Amino acid sequence: MLKVSNVTAGYGRTVILQDVSIEVGRGEVVTIIGANGAGKTTLLRAISGLVKPSAGRITFDGTDIAGMAPADIVGRGLIQVPEARQLFPVMSVRDNVLMGAYHPAARAGADRRFAEVLDLFPRIGERLDQLAGSLSGGEQQMVAIARGLMANPKLLMLDEPSLGLAPIIVQQMFGIVDRICEMGTTVLLVEQKAFHALKIAHRAYVIENGRIAIENTGAGLLADPHIKTAYLGI
C-alpha cells in the first residue's frame, strides 16, 4: 500500500533521513520505534508531503506521491495525526472532530464516520460542546485520532499517540489503535513507548540516526536482546 524507497530528506542543508526504505501492507499495523531525534517525525512528514525528499521514491497505492502537495496526499486517504495533538483549543470538541472531514474527499459519509468515531470514543460523545483546550491529555489525544478518522483514511499515521499519557491510558490507547486496524484502516505508528507499540505491530522498524537499523515482526523485535536493552529497559 505504502512503499518508501531509499528516501533521503531533511531541513535545509541538514540531512536527517538517509536512504530510508519501509513498506506498509494493507491491513497491517506497522510500528517505527526510535530514540528522541532519530527522525521518526521527519519520516512521517516526508510521507505526508510536509518535507520534500531530496532522493528516493514514495508510492501510495501505486502512485508516486513524493513532491505532491500535502492536501492532495490527504485527499488520497493518507492521514497523519501529528505529535502533541495540535487541536484548535478554543473550538469545541465537536468542531475539532468535524474539521477532520474538511477535505472534499472526506465529506461523503462524514455523518456515518462521526457516529462510528463516537462509538469508538464514547468519552468524546460526552464532551462534544466542551472546548478542546479544556480536555485532559488523554481526551485530547482521542480527539486528535477521531479527527484523523473523520478524514476517511486508508492509512492512518500516528505520531507518538501515547506521549504524556498515564500508563493505564496508554494501554487503552493502543487497544483503540488495534481496533482501528480491525475495523479496516491500515496503521503506521511511530512510538518511543516501544513495548505496547511492538505488541500490536504486525511488523516493525527501528530507526537510528536517520537510518533503518532493524526490521522484523513486532514479536521478533520484542524478543530481540538489543531491543530489550536499548528500547525496553529490560
Choice between 98 and 194, CB closer to ligand ATP: 194
Query: Any idea how long the chain is?
Result: 234
CA pair distance 83, 103, nearest whole angstrom = 21
- Residue among 38 and 68 whose Cβ is closer to ligand ATP: 38
To ligand ATP, the closest distance from the beta carbon of 211 in angstroms equals 12
Beta bridge partners of 110: none
Chain contacts with ligand ATP (rule: CB under 6 A): 11, 14, 16, 34, 36-42, 83, 192
Euclidean distance between CA atoms 171 and 185, whole angstroms: 20
- The count of C-alpha atoms lying within 13 angstroms of the C-alpha of 64, restricted to the half-sphere facing its C-beta, is 9
**For ligand ATP, the closer CB: 12 or 184:** 12
Instruction: Report the nearest approach of ligand ATP to the CB of residue 165 (Å).
Output: 15
Q: Are 143 and 87 in contact (CB under 8 A)?
A: yes
Is the CB of 8 or the CB of 92 nearer to ligand ATP? 8
* In the complex, minimum distance from the CB of residue 212 to ligand ATP, in angstroms, rounded to a whole number: 13
What is the closest distance, in whole angstroms, from the C-beta atom of residue 11 to ligand ATP in the complex?
A: 3
Of 211, 233, 159, the closest CA to residue 39 belongs to 211
Distances (CA, A) of 116 to 36, 85, 121, 155: 34, 20, 9, 17
Nearer to ligand ATP, 38 or 74 (CB): 38
User: Which cell is 21 given?
Assistant: 526504505
**Residue 37 Cβ vs ligand ATP, minimum distance, rounded to whole Å:** 4
Q: Quote the CA–CA distance of 16 and 32 in Å, as a whole number.
A: 16
**3-state SS track over 144-170:** HHHHHHHCCCCEEEEECCCCCCCHHHH
Query: Which CB atom, from 5 or from 192, has the smaller least distance to ligand ATP?
Result: 192
Least Å distance, CB 114 to ligand ATP, is: 30
